[in-house]
Amino acid sequence: MNTRLAIPFAVAAFVALVGSASGDYIMGEFRGCLTTATHVVDANVTAITKERHARLEVLRHIKGTNAPTLITGTALSCTHEPPGAFGMQAGKRYIIMLRDARLFEETTFFEITKREDGSFGCRLSDFHQKWLGVSNAWVKLDEMTTMMTPQKQK
C-alpha cells in the first residue's frame, strides 16, 4: 500500500476507535424508550442506602406490575451508577422509568412537586421538554401520567 494512503487511513482508523471507545451515547427517542422500559411507577423514595440504592414505596404502576422496590443501578449508562449518584433523594416523590431493578437511564426520573395552587406536576429541563415533545417546563401530573402510559396498538 502506498505510504501516502496508509497514514491517513491509520489516522482515520484511530479516530474511529477512540470515538467508539468513549462513553458517549445518544438517548433514544421517547416512545422507543417507553416501549423498552419494563416499568413506569409513581413512587416515593423512602431511603437512599449507603450504596446509593433507592428504596421505593410504589404508589401507582403506570406501566407494568410488581415493580421492584429497590433500584440498584442504571441500565443505559456509561457508569451504571445507582440512582443516588444522579440526584434522586429520599423523601421525594417521582415518576420513574425502570428496566428491571434499575433506572432506565440516568435522567429518567421526574420529581413530582406541589404548586401553591395545590396542583401536582413535574418540572422539566430543556432536554426533557424536547425528549418528551412538550413546550412547557411544568407538566401537570395527569398529563405526565398520560405521556408515560404506553399507547395501545391499533
pLDDT mean across residues, the chain:
83
Q: Which of 33-47, 48-62, 69-83, 125-139 has the lowest mean pLDDT?
A: 69-83
Q: Which of 23-27, 74-78, 137-141 has the lowest mean pLDDT?
A: 23-27
Q: pLDDT-derived band of residue 60, with 50, 70 and 90 as boundaries? A: very high
The structural domains of the chain, with segments of one domain joined by +, span: 30-148
pLDDT at 81: 80
Please state the rounded mean pLDDT for residues 47-64.
Answer: 94
Q: Which residues have a Cβ under 8 Å from the Cβ of 140 and sit 6 or more positions away?
A: 119, 120, 121
Distance CA(148)–CA(154), nearest Å, equals: 18
pLDDT at 15: 43
> Of all residues in the chain, what percent carry a pLDDT higher than 90?
53
Distance CA(124)–CA(134), nearest Å, equals: 9
Distance CA(8)–CA(31), nearest Å, equals: 41
pLDDT at 56: 96
Q: pLDDT-derived band of residue 87, with 50, 70 and 90 as boundaries? A: confident
Distance CA(146)–CA(65), nearest Å, equals: 17
* The pairing of beta strand 120-123 with beta strand 73-76: unpaired
Distance CA(55)–CA(46), nearest Å, equals: 6
What is the CATH architecture of 30-148?
Answer: Beta Barrel (2.40)
Higher pLDDT, residue 17 or 131: 131
Distance CA(66)–CA(82), nearest Å, equals: 20
pLDDT at 19: 42
